[in-house]
Structure 1
């Protein structure tokens, strides 16, 4: 069998490797640090939300957009970011995304009003959408053979670590120098990476190709309209004209996106990918799992600080077992999928999540935080963490190496969109509780989450293919 050039490079003597390849583990560490900032920016904000609301005078709907505007742009534009990395070069796209994210973080920290903060969060999301797929592309091309699998393993650990550090860092910074510092902390890190990465990551010439900008705008606009409709329903009702117009607009934009993708010479997404059962199952699991996790962080943070009077730091400490449980569930699921299969693991994970959330459906002003709330959330996070891994292995199991990147991009997109939709729905259902600092709205929102997890368990039993999936090794969840 003829060995590929990549494999030959892998076995070549160290002195024959290019400079960037010799420093590949340094490059990986720096790329992981960049990705870490992006993951951190989801959970770190949740803990600071009550303080941001007080300082800037934000209502429930605007507070919801502080979270969803970032994940919306991150997820909605991620496929476009991956395409630009292919066309313009991963290095150029990475540095552009990193520069934008860093500048937007500074703007968010300096924000003195809602429009400035939301605009900065949108810019952060756009920067993240450029940075994340470019960084993963560089990881893929920097490593080969068994080292690539190890590099992906390191990359995968960022998710759990980012969640754990995010809740603690968010609490410590908000209780200390102030909520602005959850954004300021990105600035020196981003500036240092911008100074170091150009010398370590080689550039390549741009590759002329079409970029499906209309498709990217349509899918992002459709998701924005969907989230706006869900948030508006909490204030105006599900039958109100603004809600119905927004939801109808979302349907129209999604339909237009499908038409554009079918007729485009260089579509952003191969829609036939969504006709494959494993990919659809993986995307479904990722959407629900992320919606459950991010909405739980959102609800619990506001409940603990608004209803129970916890400080941001105390809230961050309370969340730590939840973040650790998520990482542990993800790690343990890798073994379970190989032994029990993806379907059994997915169903069990969703069932565990539903069981963990169930006690929170009876939330009151006197519910024990460390006897009911934290244990319930930790159990739910354990199940959700297992579903994350199952979603990726399911989506990539039956996909060839040449399509694994596309399938991975689809699943990653559903990950970010799931976070946006989950927070929007949770905010809408818990509207009265958030506005008036009463536990009833939070209990109703957790009831919806428990029902959603139980229904997702049934959906997983029907959607996820039987048997034990085998990873292609070409894609990855961020």
Structure 2
């Protein structure tokens, strides 16, 4: 039967009673606090992207400097997830979640106040602390759901949790565009404060105190995991900013990535030596479904965080949409994701969850490939709505069943570690996706725009071709946010008009081609998620 989270709490029966004593309350009573906290975490992974030009103007900062507003959050979030999952095992998910919520809410206030201080450095530092708060909360949401809900109802609970994740990931740019164009960029952070206060009150009142698992804390593992992951994520995230070359002194991006790989290898060797007391018990990955769910989570985040960057640029720079209008393209998908996710969770209670996840990945592959095929200059924006709506359906089918599969075979003693590992891999997949997509788009633009200019120049008069050729080097990265370029002084008006028409058409054509190729890469990566889902066990234990 279906389960309505807003319905009155049923009388517990042996088949449906919560796994811990909630004082007679339904296990559904814990979800509002967990979902509100998780909502602001997921929103803040994407909400800043659409405000980047505004932040550049507000702080008179370079694009690289403003890029750290997002990077600082993603780095601290990803690097600490494994540690904070284990903290939930050691001290209990309730206090760790509550403290994470406090840290996140206060740092959101600091992010907004950085505008009054006029300090981009304060904003970056506050975003890093915000990532710490997000890392403290995220593993506890999955761990608590796993430990409170009986297995027969866990899929439905994960469905509600998954609907929040899907809504927040897609709604972030929409909220960002709305706040930036109306009440100010500071509100992309201030909005977290009332939500955080309500979530805090609910958490204190409704979240149960769960048994803890006392064991020695792996401080060596903590240091190795944080340092290794930080180096890897920094190298991937910022490699393009440094041209994959020197960062400072003799230190290069490749040196940082190599050091990250060495430290990570040392971490894995140390975890093997620690055995059951490890920060990340490697025995978790002997569960085939858990290991494959981690692959699926990383792949899904790769696509969901990565594809919005090229798509948003296409909508604004080629189709000429405003930031808010571009964000509205994601609205149907956001709504459908929230509608589908609870049903997907309940369906995963009735049929093997792997089939629901596989169907979700199949829809994502189809939708992203569809977008890749339709992006071209001059199309109506309505051509993009159907595939993005399909993308929302696929997203809604992934989050909750995938999370349920990842934790289905874990013992209570390792639920926090498993949730931390799953969320860490999912977050790192998003960071890698963002870096790879940006690098791919940049490299394809550098090839496709000059090629389009060369093709457009073939049938032009010599004097017009000469002017176009002189502009080609400066246009190899596109037209920029303003969508304009300068024709050299002294060019006759009639020739200048021809040059503008030819160059604008060629740059838009080359840019659209590069976006399509980048989206096809994302579709190709998503097929790995589909294969992982099909390889999962039907009934994991």
TM-score (norm 2): 0.72
CA change 1:141–1:299 in 2 (3 A) is same
| 1:314 to partner: Cα distance | 2.1
Corresponding position: 1:370 with 2:382: yes
Aligned equivalents of 2:61, 2:386: Cα separation in 1: 30
| 1:290 to partner: Cα distance | 0.8
Number of residue pairs the alignment of both structures matches: 457
State which drifts further: 301-310 or 406-415. Answer: 301-310
| 1:97 to partner: Cα distance | 0.6
| Partner residue in 2 for 1:172 | 178
| Partner residue in 2 for 1:476 | none
CA change 1:235–1:99 in 2 (3 A) is closer
Unpaired runs of 5+ residues, structure 2, are 1-10, 446-476, 484-507
Corresponding position: 1:281 with 2:292: yes
CA change 1:443–1:327 in 2 (3 A) is farther
1:13-60: per-residue Cα shift (whole Å, max 9, x none)? x9xx97754375444322222222212222333333332233234444
Contact 1:64 1:424 survives alignment (8 Å) = no
Aligned equivalents of 2:336, 2:393: Cα separation in 1: 5
| Partner residue in 2 for 1:223 | 229
Contact 1:221 1:250 survives alignment (8 Å) = yes
| Partner residue in 1 for 2:274 | 264
Q: Whose helix fraction is larger, Structure 1's or Structure 2's?
A: 1
Aligned equivalents of 2:242, 2:414: Cα separation in 1: 44
| Partner residue in 1 for 2:373 | 359
Unpaired runs of 5+ residues, structure 1, are 1-8, 473-478
| 1:121 to partner: Cα distance | 1.6
Aligned equivalents of 1:211, 1:344: Cα separation in 2: 37
Aligned equivalents of 1:147, 1:386: Cα separation in 2: 17
Aligned equivalents of 1:343, 1:140: Cα separation in 2: 18
| Partner residue in 1 for 2:430 | 419
Corresponding position: 1:470 with 2:539: yes
Aligned equivalents of 1:448, 1:239: Cα separation in 2: 23
Which aligned pairs between 1:31-110 and structure 2 lie closer than 5 A? 31-110=34-113
Aligned equivalents of 1:339, 1:185: Cα separation in 2: 35
| Partner residue in 2 for 1:118 | 124
| Partner residue in 1 for 2:448 | none
Q: Aligned Cα RMSD in Å?
A: 3.8
Aligned equivalents of 1:109, 1:88: Cα separation in 2: 31
SS at match of 1:42: coil
State which drifts further: 383-392 or 45-54. Answer: 383-392
Contact 1:274 1:280 survives alignment (8 Å) = yes
Aligned equivalents of 1:195, 1:329: Cα separation in 2: 29
CA change 1:271–1:114 in 2 (3 A) is farther
Corresponding position: 1:457 with 2:527: yes
Aligned equivalents of 1:296, 1:323: Cα separation in 2: 15
Could you tell me which of 223, 229, 237 is aligned with 2:243? Answer: 237
| Partner residue in 2 for 1:448 | 518
Corresponding position: 1:133 with 2:139: yes
CA change 1:84–1:106 in 2 (3 A) is same
Aligned equivalents of 1:194, 1:36: Cα separation in 2: 13
CA change 1:43–1:232 in 2 (3 A) is closer
Aligned equivalents of 2:98, 2:357: Cα separation in 1: 40
Contact 1:356 1:379 survives alignment (8 Å) = no
SS at match of 1:43: coil
| 1:143 to partner: Cα distance | 4.3
TM-score (norm 1): 0.80
| 1:162 to partner: Cα distance | 2.1
